[in-house]
Amino acid sequence: MFNIFKKKQEKPNIAIIVAAGSGTRMNMKENKAFVELAGIPVIAHSLIAMQKSTQIDEIIVVTKEENILLAGDIAKEFGIDKLKKIVPGGQRRQDSVYIAIKEAENANIIAIHDAARPCISIEDIDVVVKLADKRGAVTLAMNVSDTLKRVQDGVIVEEIDRHDIWAMQTPQAFRNDIIMRAHENAAEKDIQATDDAYLVQQLGIPVYIESGSRDNIKITEAEDLVIAEGILGGRENV
């Protein structure tokens, strides 16, 4: 007997983990996504979080060609069965993301996350993906709490009102059609950006802010590894 009431298969929510950077600012020769943090590679922390997220169905990793096999081995070691593809990145982060987006053409929501943010929480992943499903484009961010000043030639020239200033984080989550159009538009018009939210804004589409966590730091300098280890260690001790 045919089940005419069978639910139609929904499109998957896909996480893209961007791990095509380098350790230049950390004075490292190797990709910072693969250095050790709290006993495991930096990228493993993001892979595990995405694996545990109830809102992520599949994972795509974009990394340097020479790190593809290593990324696959790490995924196997930690049982990341949501990982569907590992693709080689481009020259810039923006290029790498575009390459990965084209591999996620069947997605519903695409959540783009930097592997260099290993302290992302499962709760924040779930929230930003759910909101993107409703609003189309959402990013985690933190309201800036420091006093800000504009400086020229080593001299303060202007006070900046921090009330409306937010520091962007990842994941940034978008409906598939929105983020694809944003990257196609950027490629056509040679628009360059360091985050995907900016590219979406260029289409005139609003990007909504969801307050993230101060724990969701980016590994940029060597001392950030020490800070991140403290954050992760604190969670284990709760």
Q: What pLDDT digit, counting tens, does each position of 30-89 carry? A: 789 999 999 999 999 999 999 999 999 999 999 999 999 999 999 999 999 999 999 999
Average pLDDT of the chain is 92
CB atoms within 10 A of CB 52: 12
For residue 3, being part of any structural domain is answered with: no
How far apart are the C-alpha atoms of 88 and 85, rounded to whole Å? 10
For residue 54, being part of any structural domain is answered with: yes
How far apart are the C-alpha atoms of 16 and 173, rounded to whole Å? 10
Please, which residues bridge with residue 150 across strands? 158
- What's 166's domain CATH number? 3.90.550.10
CA 201 to chain centre: 17
| Residue 238 CB partners (closer than 8 Å, separation 6+) | none
For residue 2, being part of any structural domain is answered with: no
In Å, what is the CA distance from 149 to each residue of 60, 144, 146? 39, 12, 10
For residue 9, being part of any structural domain is answered with: no
Peptide bond into 206 cis (omega under 30): no
| Residue 211 CB partners (closer than 8 Å, separation 6+) | 140, 141, 142, 143
Quick check: helix, strand or coil at residue 45?
Answer: helix
For residue 1, being part of any structural domain is answered with: no
Which structure tokens are listed for 63?
A: 């990394």
For residue 7, being part of any structural domain is answered with: no
Domain range for 86: 14-236
Residues 172 and 197: beta-carbon distance below 8 Å: yes
pTM of the model: 0.92
39 phi, psi to nearest 5 deg: 90, -5
Task: Please give the tally of structural domains in the chain.
Answer: 1
User: What's the average model confidence in pLDDT over 140-162?
Assistant: 94
Instruction: Identify the residue with better confidence: 192 or 22.
Output: 192
Tens digit of pLDDT for each residue in 72-88? 999 999 999 999 999 99
For residue 5, being part of any structural domain is answered with: no
End-to-end CA distance of the chain: 52
